[in-house]
Structure formats: structure tokens, C-alpha cells
Amino acid sequence: MILWLTDQQAQTIIRHLQEERHQEGCGLLIGSEDGQVIEVIPAKNVAQHPQRHYEIAHHTLVETITSAQKHGLELLGFYHSHPNGDPIPSSTDVAQANYPDAAYLIVGFAGDAPKLAAWRIRRHEVERLQLHVGDSMPVTQDTGLSGNHKFAIIVSAIFAFVFMIVLSLSLLPPAPEIP
């Protein structure tokens, strides 16, 4: 999966999280199933210790997901900040990841400029996602075979099999005569 943000959406997220610099800021990413973010929704961090963790209110999640589905969109993922760290999932991020198909976008503010990275977290396994920030569609390299390619391979295999049978039969010596 590629998570695709426009330049403006990335700046909106960074500005929101800079405003929340004293704690972890968070929000939701709504979009299409191809990974294109259509809407960035800032959310309030309701965690008990917002300086070290983030939590989005349950009613905010339900309302956002319901609204997205009414508009033919889906919850692509979440974003949050690491105010003094890198954009790498913490052990708490991994433990609290309850949406295995969601992207987790993290903005790290360690260093001079904010850094963004996207992740998928499934059953405590972390996988880095390709993150595309730009107004033009990301270029994808599809290594899968098309339907026509698969069909050609199957037809070729059948042809090769039949050819080998015919060749094998033609090379057999003649059957002995029965007395």
C-alpha cells in the first residue's frame, strides 16, 4: 500500500502537530482504498498522559468512520506526533495498534525539520509503508502479472505439455507383432 498525501495535506498535519508541541497531537486520515488521502481530520488527544501517548475519543472515531462511509470513503489511518523523537513506532504505538489494515503516519520533531513516516502494524509486527507526498499521482511499479500474461502462460504450458506427449509417442519403437 502507498499512502498518498498532497503537499497541502502534509503541511496541514505538520501545522496541527506543531500547535500541539507540548504533547502528542493526533488525527485521522480519510480517503480512497488506493491510499489517496482525501481528508485530514485533526482530533483531540484524550490520553491520560498526552505527553507520552495519544488516544482518539471513541465517539470521534465512530462519527468519522460513519461519515466517511456515507461519502464512499474509508478510514485509511491515523497520524500522531513524537514531539521529541523520530517517526518510528514506539512500543506503546505497537501495543495499542488496534486497526491492522490502517496506516499509522508518525511525524517526528527531533532535529531541524519534521520527518514523516508511515507504518502498518499487525499483530505486533511493524512494516514500513511507502509514503508519497506530492500533488501528482505516485508512480507505482506493479510487478504482478496481468490477466493476459497469466492466460498466455497457461496456454503455453498446455501447448508444451501436448507437444511433449506427441513427441514422446513418436519416438517410441513400434509395438511388437502379436503371434
Q: Is residue 86 part of a domain?
A: yes
In a domain, 15, yes or no: yes
Beta strands 103-108 and 74-82 are parallel
Residues 128-153 have pLDDT tens digits of 999 999 988 877 655 577 778 888 89
What is each CA distance from 39 to 33, 35, 54, 145, 168, in whole angstroms? Answer: 13, 12, 20, 32, 64
Same domain, 73 and 122: yes
Do 75 and 153 lie in a common domain? no
CATH number of the domain to which 18 belongs: 3.40.140.10
Residue 174 has pLDDT above 90, yes or no: no
* Domain limits for position 161: 145-173
The whole-number pLDDT of residue 108 equals: 96
Q: What digits encode the pLDDT tens for the residues 30-56?
A: 999 999 999 999 999 999 999 999 999
Is residue 140 domain-resident?
no
Please tell me whether residues 129 and 52 are part of one structural domain: yes
CA-based nearest residue to 29, from 117, 133, 104? 104
Query: What percent of the chain lies above the pLDDT cut of 70?
Result: 98
Q: Give me 84's grid cell.
A: 521529541
Residue 142: predicted pLDDT:
58
Number of domains the chain is built from: 2
Residue 83 and residue 154 share a domain: no
Residue 141 pLDDT: 56
